[in-house]
Structure 1
Amino acid sequence: MNLKAMRRRPMALLFIVCMMLLTSACGSTISNNASSDTTKTNSGSETVVESVKNTEPVKVVWWHSMSGELGKKLDQLVSDFNNSQQAVQVEAVFQGTYDESLNKLKAAMDSESSPTLMQVYEIGSRFMIDTKSVTPMQTFIDKENYDTTSLEPNILNYYTFDNQLYSMPFNTSNPILYYNKDAFKAAGLDPEKPPTTYEGVAKAAKALTTEGKSGASFAIYGWFMEQLLANQGKELIDNGNGRTSPATSSLLNSEAGVSILTWWKQMLDDKSIINLGRKTDDTKKAFAAGQIAMTLDSTASLRGIVSSTEGKFEVGTAFLPKPEGSNDGGVVVGGASLWIMNNRSQEEQQGAWEFIKFLAQPSTQANWHINTGYFPITKKAYDEQTVKDNLAKYPQFQTAVDQLHQTKPSLSTQGAVMGVFPEARQLTETAIEEVLNNSKSPQQALDDAAKAISSKIQEYNQTVNK
């Protein structure tokens, strides 16, 4: 080796060492971030973290239908997730009501403008599956052996089809009976023993009806009819509620369905309840004003109802009533779940899954529950001190928790699924309205509604099978 080469060698070695140190430092930073992110998001995050090494964070667009205070709380959850790691950034976009949001998705399907993650109300589940545009949640669960044992089985049950969890529950509720404890005392009724049967509700409504005040009012809401059937262990549509095979006809006009409307109409005829129409907001306002002593509403309304009656009277809660002697059934979960769209990149889909896991964590679910009134989807959330404190402050919510846990799993309580569910619910409400307005008998109204729903189901099935 000549002298010139020997003089160059130390400089070359110094350059190589510097480059190695620089590379090591950069690699260490990425490695630490990747390790941290992987720890936070479990084994499925490597794909996302790998993409962040050389690019910007993966962007996940989430379309949702949470407005007002619910929307603010949802935005806070998104912000908490985005600030917790660097691999994925979620953008929440409000798209209007559930119906409006689903219509927008239909228009954007298979285009670049579609979201990665979609919030869909429970009755849109069959449609989402039939579009073949989603990646089942089970795919991600199986890929990393994600533990679902702590998730509420009665909630997962609704969104499970052919032994696959297709979407992850997010905001979940069921209906309960709300009653005015002070009005019960004034009427000589035991405020700690609310009615549990149709017969008991009718008797209590008569006792509670006084000058200018009515015993009860139930909004004309198809969801209530669906729940009252399930609470008797009865199915809404054929073929195992559309779960053993696609439904072909409605069972709305069954003996159980007719008995529900007969009970409802008899109380109206007895002038022990009043009809305030289709809006649950109207019955809530009447209840808060002390104009009615009982009503049916979602568990998600509990915080608002208790707050609106504070200083006026004490609110009691009870299980959804059922006919005397009926021991089967239970409630079907309502609300919405999260779906991952399969036309987005693998990185985006994985990013959506990481966010979903964050939402399912006990602490996140506890936060969402106490600020909204929706059920936690994980049983571990009830171990969080904030949830214990909330239940102490709002003991009425224990009714909803107990009702969920005591529901017996069956095809009726798993819930009906059909591609025309929104239309079916509207037709059900029309039938209820016809009965309460004396234009049709319970049997005739439900016969007509069942025929119309069955026709729509069959038309839908032909479209799907093409």
Structure 2
Amino acid sequence: MKRFGKRSFTLLLLSCLMLISAACSNSPTTGETTAAAGSEPSKEPVKVVWWHSMSGELGTVADKLISDFNAAHEDIQVEGVFQGTYDESLNKLKASLGSNSGPTMIQVYEIGSRFMMDTKAIRPVQDFMDAEQYDISSLEPNIKNYYTFDDKLYSMPFNSSNPILYYNKDAFKAAGLDPENPPKTYEEVAEAAKALTKGNQAGASFAIYGWFMEQFLANQGVELLNNGNGRTSPATASQVNSPAGVKTLEWWKQMVDDKVLLNLGRKTDDTKKAFAAGQIAMTLDSTASLRGIVSAAEGKFEVGTGFLPKPADGGDGGVIIGGASLWLMNNKSEEEQQAAWEFMKYLAEPQTQAYWHVNTGYFPVTTKAYEEELVKENLEKYPQFQTAVDQLHQTTANLATQGAVMGVFPEARQLTETAIEEVLNGQKTPQEALDKAASEISSKIETYNKTVK
């Protein structure tokens, strides 16, 4: 009896274990148990695809921002996809329109703004700002103005720059010029270039870049396009051949004729290299190039920076914002759009912008970033950047400095560069070359406007 009782107990124990095991194998997962208790089941994070044009070191910084955001947001995962240059990326977007193969959000250079609005494939970020009373009071006014149309902010500013004058302080001293007082007018630049031209060193060189021409006009308070630079109503004609444009090219060509300014062609990389090598004493370049230019000159000479020059009798103006902003596509789910908006807000935060600015050289898009220790330390290390900040803040806000908008901006820029080239090479007078460019640009605008209608 005793043995039988023991065996019965063992069988009973085995039966219990089997029942428990079966119950366990059929039991819901931990998440489902929680759900049964009344809370939400665990969900996959919302995926946001961001197309951008940040390569090399800029791409590394962009990747860091993405990874930091993803680490702090379990419910959203951003995937950054490099799509080549701004032009290449925009062409890929054009090919994706009408399908679902495009991104959730895309970085587009400033001159692509009119095209982006005309696609009707985007959703203005103003929608999200209005919905949550998002405070944009600390966004840089001039940057905010560029991307504002009909009192509505269409895209989120992200990376911004403008052009400044770079000069060799050591060369200035050697030429008897004040290294702390860079030339401010066309006339002063021409004079300084003459004094700086000696031996193997030319006074200056400016790359043949349409962006510079746009900036030279804005700096004189002159609009590049009719109809309020294309902002009061769609532009129908180019005004690149205005007296301000002609005067600018006459000044540029005269310096070439006087053999005090080298014509090194269209690439800013070539003028950068010539400046670092001491072959030229002054050049124009983007504020985003500042760190690279200062580093390249290290141990050779001290780099000075000055405002973009304008004629002594130039009108009220300033610089236009360059760089790019972030656009939201409207063919994604509301949930995905909302997730992309969260990422955009993160990229505009003072701490994020401080990190972005210090590691890339682009402007912070929010004034609050200047309160960050990181930015203060960077300004101490690179005092030349103060010039860029001051130039931005001293720019007069008007339709000229707000920036032109047209759907054929990349083509217009190339036509302007051809005109500059023809003048510097002695093929046409400034008036002839700019008249031809204005006519061709206006014709392209007309064709584009018909397709939009």
Over 3 Å counting, the alpha-carbon distance change for 1:174 and 1:234 in structure 2 is same
Look up the SS of the partner of 1:376 in the other structure: coil
The aligned amino acid for 1:204 is A
Equivalent residue in structure 1 for 2:71, among 83, 86, 110: 83
Deviations 1:303-325 (A, max 9, x none): 00000000000000000001003
CA distance in 2, matches of 1:313, 1:28: 71
CA distance in 2, matches of 1:448, 1:126: 23
Over 3 Å counting, the alpha-carbon distance change for 1:24 and 1:417 in structure 2 is same
Equivalent residue in structure 2 for 1:167, among 149, 155, 161: 155
Over 3 Å counting, the alpha-carbon distance change for 1:395 and 1:439 in structure 2 is same
The aligned amino acid for 1:421 is F
Moved over 2 A (4+): 22-31
- Counterpart in the other structure of 2:447: 459
Deviations 1:228-273 (A, max 9, x none): 0000000000000000000000001000000000000000000011
Deviations 1:14-70 (A, max 9, x none): xxxxx9xx8999479998xxxxxxxxxxxxxxxxxx8xx552000000001110000
Q: Any residues of structure 2 matched to 1:197-216 within 5 Å, and which?
A: 197-216=185-204
Q: Does residue 72 in structure 1 map to residue 74 in structure 2?
A: no
Sequence identity, in percent? Answer: 74
Q: Any residues of structure 2 matched to 1:271-420 within 5 Å, and which?
A: 271-420=259-408
- Counterpart in the other structure of 2:7: none
Equivalent residue in structure 2 for 1:127, among 111, 115, 128: 115
- Counterpart in the other structure of 2:169: 181
Look up the SS of the partner of 1:157 in the other structure: helix
CA distance in 1, matches of 2:342, 2:35: 23
Over 3 Å counting, the alpha-carbon distance change for 1:269 and 1:112 in structure 2 is same
Deviation of the 1:211 alpha carbon: 1.1
Deviations 1:61-87 (A, max 9, x none): 000111000001100100000001111
CA distance in 1, matches of 2:37, 2:62: 31
Q: Any residues of structure 2 matched to 1:146-157 within 5 Å, and which?
A: 146-157=134-145
The aligned amino acid for 1:91 is E
TM-score, with length taken from structure 2: 0.92
CA distance in 2, matches of 1:445, 1:73: 41
CA distance in 2, matches of 1:23, 1:286: 63
Over 3 Å counting, the alpha-carbon distance change for 1:403 and 1:27 in structure 2 is farther
Deviation of the 1:435 alpha carbon: 0.1
Instruction: Look at both structures and tell me which one has the larger radius of gyration over its CA atoms.
Output: 2
CA distance in 2, matches of 1:366, 1:27: 42
CA distance in 1, matches of 2:263, 2:36: 68
Look up the SS of the partner of 2:180 in the other structure: coil
CA distance in 2, matches of 1:370, 1:111: 38
Which blocks of at least 5 consecutive residues in structure 2 are unaligned?
A: 1-26
Tell me the matched-pair count: 426
Which blocks of at least 5 consecutive residues in structure 1 are unaligned?
A: 1-18, 32-49
The aligned amino acid for 2:314 is S
CA distance in 2, matches of 1:30, 1:295: 67
Deviation of the 1:407 alpha carbon: 0.5
